[in-house]
Every structure is written in C-alpha cells, then in structure tokens.
C-alpha cells in the first residue's frame, strides 16, 4: 500500500472549500490544479484543510493554484 502525506491547504483555499458540500462524512473529493497547469484528480481533502496525496506525488502547498470539487 502506498505511503501518503497530508498537505495543509492555504487558508484562502480552505475558506473556499468550507462553503462547498462534503462528498462524504468529513471529506471532499477534489481535483487540484497546480500553478504549472497539472491537474491531479480524485484527491481527498479532510475537514476542508488537509489534502491527502501519495508520498511520490510531487506537490507542495505553494504549487497549488486552486481546487475544484469532483463531479
């Protein structure tokens, strides 16, 4: 099973997610758009503040441009 890490989202993104519905109890399924234009799909955010990603995923909170709920 792959190792995971939690990335604390910037406050502006967390504040935005708080206003959106949950996908399940305490989490949201999102896609993350990075500043370089890469799109990472079907990621979980817990309590609108922590993004859960696999260890080998090269992303940092500084590289996150925005997040959107997955449909």
Q: What is the Cα–Cα distance from 68 to 55, expressed in whole angstroms?
A: 22
Write down the domain spans for the chain.
Answer: 4-69
pLDDT over 70 (residue 1): no
Mean pLDDT of 35-60: 93
Q: What is the pLDDT of residue 58?
A: 81
pTM of the model: 0.89
- Model pLDDT for residues 3-38, shown as the tens digit of each residue: 899 999 999 999 999 999 999 999 999 999 999 999
| 3-class secondary structure, 23 | coil
The pair phi, psi for residue 21, each rounded to 5°, is -70, 155
């Amino acid at each position: 099973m792959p190792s995971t890490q939690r990335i604390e989202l910037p406050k502006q993104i967390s504040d935005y997610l708080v206003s959106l519905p949950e996908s399940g109890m305490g989490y949201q399924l999102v896609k993350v758009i990075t500043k370089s234009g890469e799109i990472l799909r079907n990621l979980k955010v817990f309590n609108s503040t922590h993004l859960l990603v696999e260890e080998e995923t090269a992303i940092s909170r500084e590289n996150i441009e925005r997040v959107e709920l997955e449909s």
